[in-house]
Structure 1
């Protein structure tokens, strides 16, 4: 058996202009680029993405998710959360793609390096920093900022589907972050985690001005 866990946080600021982001993402690892692509697939073609989630329903056995050839995952809601996610995606409207940000990805990476070796499971850094503090190290965020963290997943698709299904999270906060129309910029970092094996930090903002 394996367990996965997800954390979500959101902060709002007064509206402001949202500068365009760089489309280059060479600073990201292959898996991190795949996470950005997967997020954008879900935002731009939610009805198609619903089919990917629906295909997983057959692998539930009560509260166990048992994908073929993989370790079974203990869920809190069973297939109920996945079914609800499918309905959400089928009704969702198309949203603009996220533009990757180097500075925001550095902020996400800071948190992976801080939390991973210690096996911590929270948005607050060991220095007391919150997601908006870490993002501010590398530039200025606009409109709103948020953060999703996924633990224990090894592929971009599993990371993103897990966040969209949002099993056990009553307000579906991770899903709300992904489909928040005010979020236009994204930073991603993936790395090892002492307790769950892996962690992926995804920072969101309405816009971001990179510090030069």
Structure 2
């Protein structure tokens, strides 16, 4: 059966708008709640944590300047290159100290708003799978213990559109702190995580969170230009329907890769392993000291 690319685009748009409206309504309802800390004073469920991270992402994406007070507060918590995070009860050894935070402030002051991200439950399933795998095995990688990749994990639950990307954050359990860690992007000259968080080509997000064997916590963020239900594959292509069979760009942080969805052939760029035992993607949690 021949597929109509325009129809698929319309279905994606309609689904995205419906989910966005539900999430906006839920967020508005929370505005009437009594003031509380970021977690509402309680332990968050898996779904609540994902929703909280998505809300923080959308806050900084749709109003970049709204995160300026949080960054300014971070600057007061440095002693040399040691950052104290009272809400986590830890102190972290950073690479750049206040410099990375100051750089982020300049970036956000000049940045224009970008589109709202829709939290996609099926993308979150893929992110949760990887978070569980990383946490239970003590790994710090975009590749699963079974050899799975971001592409394969996402395609197990649906079909992605446009571009996809994956970010990993370690050591923190508060949604805002997770976003701040990726946004500041300490020790990464290209600020690749920051750029991904604020990239307007991404329209959908999935979030997974789990305790980590060595790094305390791990949060997996998967991004896509769109995401939908599984459909019929095209001839000779087990990955995606005909409308998606063109050269697309996806990025596992620090590993630029172009993939041809029909041939399944990928062309990896140079993976950049950072000094000090850090891995591709989001860095391992720096040495910590109890506050």
TM range (shorter): 0.7 to 0.9
**Counterpart secondary structure, 2:85:** coil
The answer as to whether partners of 1:103 and 1:211 remain within 8 angstroms in 2 is: no
Farther-moved stretch of structure 1 (191-200 vs 18-27)? 18-27
**Counterpart secondary structure, 1:205:** strand
**Counterpart secondary structure, 2:202:** coil
2:59 maps to which of 41, 47, 59: 41
After TM superposition, give the deviation of residue 17 of structure 1 in Å.
4.1
The answer as to whether partners of 1:139 and 1:210 remain within 8 angstroms in 2 is: yes
1:130 maps to which of 121, 124, 149: 149
Correspondence 1:107 to 2:120 = no
After TM superposition, give the deviation of residue 205 of structure 1 in Å.
0.3
1:51 maps to which of 69, 76, 83: 69
For 1:34 and 1:67, the matched residues in 2 are separated by 19
Q: TM-score, normalised by structure 1?
A: 0.87
> Which residue of structure 2 aligns with residue 201 of structure 1?
220
Note the residue ranges of structure 1 that are not aligned, 5 or more in a row. 1-15
For 1:124 and 1:74, the matched residues in 2 are separated by 26
2:189 maps to which of 161, 164, 170: 170
Note the residue ranges of structure 2 that are not aligned, 5 or more in a row. 1-7, 27-44, 232-291
> Which residue of structure 2 aligns with residue 91 of structure 1?
110
Structure of greater relative contact order (alpha carbons < 8 Å, 6+ residues apart) = 1
Correspondence 1:29 to 2:47 = yes
**Counterpart secondary structure, 2:154:** helix
After TM superposition, give the deviation of residue 131 of structure 1 in Å.
1.0
After TM superposition, give the deviation of residue 211 of structure 1 in Å.
2.9
**Counterpart secondary structure, 2:114:** coil
The answer as to whether partners of 2:46 and 2:209 remain within 8 angstroms in 1 is: no
Farther-moved stretch of structure 1 (48-57 vs 198-207)? 48-57
After TM superposition, give the deviation of residue 40 of structure 1 in Å.
0.3
1:19-54: CA deviation from partner (whole Å, max 9, x where unpaired):
233345799522221100000000011012122112
Runs of 4+ in 1 over 4 A off after TM superposition: 24-28
**Counterpart secondary structure, 1:206:** strand
1:58-115: CA deviation from partner (whole Å, max 9, x where unpaired):
1111110023473211101100000000110111110111001111101101101111
The answer as to whether partners of 1:17 and 1:142 remain within 8 angstroms in 2 is: no
1:80 maps to which of 72, 83, 99: 99
After TM superposition, give the deviation of residue 197 of structure 1 in Å.
1.2
After TM superposition, give the deviation of residue 210 of structure 1 in Å.
2.4
**Greater Rg, structure 1 or structure 2?**
2
Q: TM-score, normalised by structure 2?
A: 0.64
- Give the CA RMSD over aligned residues: 2.0
